[in-house]
Chains A and B, each alone.
Chain A
Amino acid sequence: MDEIQKKEQASSTHKIGIYLWIWGLLFVLSFFSYLVDWFQFQGLLRHSLILIFMFLKAGLIMAFFMHLYWERYALVNILLWPMTAIVGFIVLMAAEAKYTVFTRLLYFFIGG
Chain B
Amino acid sequence: MSNNSLNNLPEGFKGMSHDMGSDQTAFKGVQWGKVMMWIFLLSDTFIFSCFLISYMKGRTSTVVDWPNTSEVFSLHVGGVPVPLLLIAIMTFVLITSSGTMALAVKYGYEKNRKMCGWLILATAIGGLTFVGMQIFEWSKLIHEGVRPWENPFGAKQFGSFFFMITGFHGTHVSIGVIFLFIYARKVFRGDFDNGKRGFFTTMKSDYVAIEILGLYWHFVDLVWVFIFAFFYLW
A and B touching (Cβ–Cβ under 8 A): yes
Interface pair A33/B229, CB less than 8 Å apart = yes
Interface pair A38/B83, CB less than 8 Å apart = yes
- Interface residue B4 (Cβ < 8 Å from any Cβ of A): yes
CA distance A48 to B29 in the complex (A): 39
Task: Report B134 CB to chain A, min CB distance, Å.
Answer: 17
Number of interface residues of B (CB under 8 A): 66
Contacts of B2 in A (CB 8 A): 2-3
Size range of the chain A interface in the assembly: 35 or more
Interface pair B60/A19, CB less than 8 Å apart = no
Interface pair A72/B218, CB less than 8 Å apart = no
Contacts of A57 in B (CB 8 A): 225
Number of A-B contacts (CB under 8 A): 173
Contacts of A1 in B (CB 8 A): 1
List residues of A whose CB falls within 8 A of some B CB.
Answer: 1-4, 7-9, 11-14, 16, 19-20, 22-23, 26-27, 30, 33-34, 36-38, 40, 46-47, 50-51, 53-54, 57-58, 61-62, 64-67, 71-75, 77-79, 82-83, 86, 89-90, 93-94, 96-98, 100-101, 104-105, 108-109
A-B contact pairs, 15 of them (CB 8 A): A4-B6, A8-B31, A12-B109, A13-B106, A16-B106, A19-B99, A23-B98, A30-B88, A30-B91, A65-B98, A65-B214, A74-B20, A79-B38, A86-B49, A109-B63
